[in-house]
């Protein structure tokens, strides 16, 4: 069984892999077809995700996040996972456009420095991202607060079905969730719903102004 730090690192590795896949337009389309759907209804995604998710807890979370990243497009980057500039791949003797090479491409190992749990929890979760939308993109504070409370109360199935709409609005306003943190929270939520919901609400309220007293 992996440690908490290893699981957090695996979330970032999965996100980096999905970004790599989404560089191929055809694959990006197939991954985007899973928005809001349970894993059993996402057959077009299986050839790209089964090898990495078949025996993982919270498998639907991986499919949901993959579909959301695909919806965002290839220029979306996750803090701490992808750099802001792309470099041309080194030439090699094999065919560069072979989809099979994408499926088995290894994730580059992360730096060997000991992971810092404090740094992980300093990254923005969904609540912090919604607070950013209020501060930077003019999302209504009360309406966004209400949305957050609805999302924290939904069942897991309803949450996965509901997420694409608010996430699409965030990205339309150039606000991208931290996909690794979102994936981690969605995996944890079936077992720790109250804790995940509290983290989201705390992050939202700590990053938005206190309401005026009337």
Residue whose pair of structure tokens reads 């607070």 in the numeric block = 131
The residues, ordered by sequence, that sit 6+ positions from 112 with a Cβ below 8 Å of its Cβ are none
Give the integer Cα–Cα distance in Å for 169 and 40. Answer: 27
Would you give the DSSP letter of residue 50?
Answer: H
Here the tokens at position 106 are: 């290894």
Here the tokens at position 75 are: 């220029």
Specify whether the CB–CB gap between 20 and 71 falls below 8 A: no
Question: Where would I find the beta strands (DSSP E) of 17-163?
Answer: none
Q: What average pLDDT does the segment 134-142 reach?
A: 94
Provide, rounded to the nearest whole percent, the portion of the chain with pLDDT above 70: 78
Specify whether the CB–CB gap between 90 and 105 falls below 8 A: no
Kindly report the pTM of this predicted structure.
Answer: 0.80
Residue whose pair of structure tokens reads 């025996």 in the numeric block = 55
CA dist list (Å): 169 to 110, 139, 182: 31, 10, 16
pLDDT at 110 over 60: no
In which band, very low, low, confident or very high, does the pLDDT at 184 lie, cut at 50, 70 and 90? very high
Comparison of pLDDT for 101 and 6, the residue scoring more: 6
φ and ψ of 207, to 5 deg: -115, 5
pLDDT for res 109:
47
pLDDT at 70 over 90: yes
Q: Which of 108, 139, 102 is nearest to 25 (CA)?
A: 102
Comparison of pLDDT for 41 and 75, the residue scoring more: 41
């Amino acid at each position: 069984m992996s440690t908490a730090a290893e699981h957090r690192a695996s979330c970032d590795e999965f996100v980096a892999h999905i970004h790599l896949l989404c560089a191929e337009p055809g694959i990006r389309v197939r991954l985007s077809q899973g928005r809001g759907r349970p894993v059993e209804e996402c057959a077009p995604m299986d050839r790209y995700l089964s090898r990495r998710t078949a025996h993982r807890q919270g498998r639907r979370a991986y499919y949901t996040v993959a579909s959301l990243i695909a919806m965002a497009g290839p220029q979306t980057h996750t803090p701490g996972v992808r750099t802001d500039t792309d470099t041309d791949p080194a030439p090699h003797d094999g065919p560069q456009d072979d989809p099979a090479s994408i499926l088995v491409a290894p994730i580059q190992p992360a730096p060997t420095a000991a992971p810092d749990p404090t740094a992980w929890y300093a990254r923005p979760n969904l609540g912090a991202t919604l607070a950013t939308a209020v501060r930077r993109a003019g999302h209504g504070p009360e309406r966004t607060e209400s949305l957050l409370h609805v999302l924290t109360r939904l069942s897991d199935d309803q949450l996965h079905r509901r997420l694409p709409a608010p996430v699409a609005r965030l990205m339309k306003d150039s606000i991208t969730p931290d996909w690794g943190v979102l994936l981690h929270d969605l995996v944890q939520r079936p077992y720790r719903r109250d804790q995940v919901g509290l983290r989201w609400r705390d992050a939202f309220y700590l990053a938005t102004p206190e309401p005026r007293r009337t």
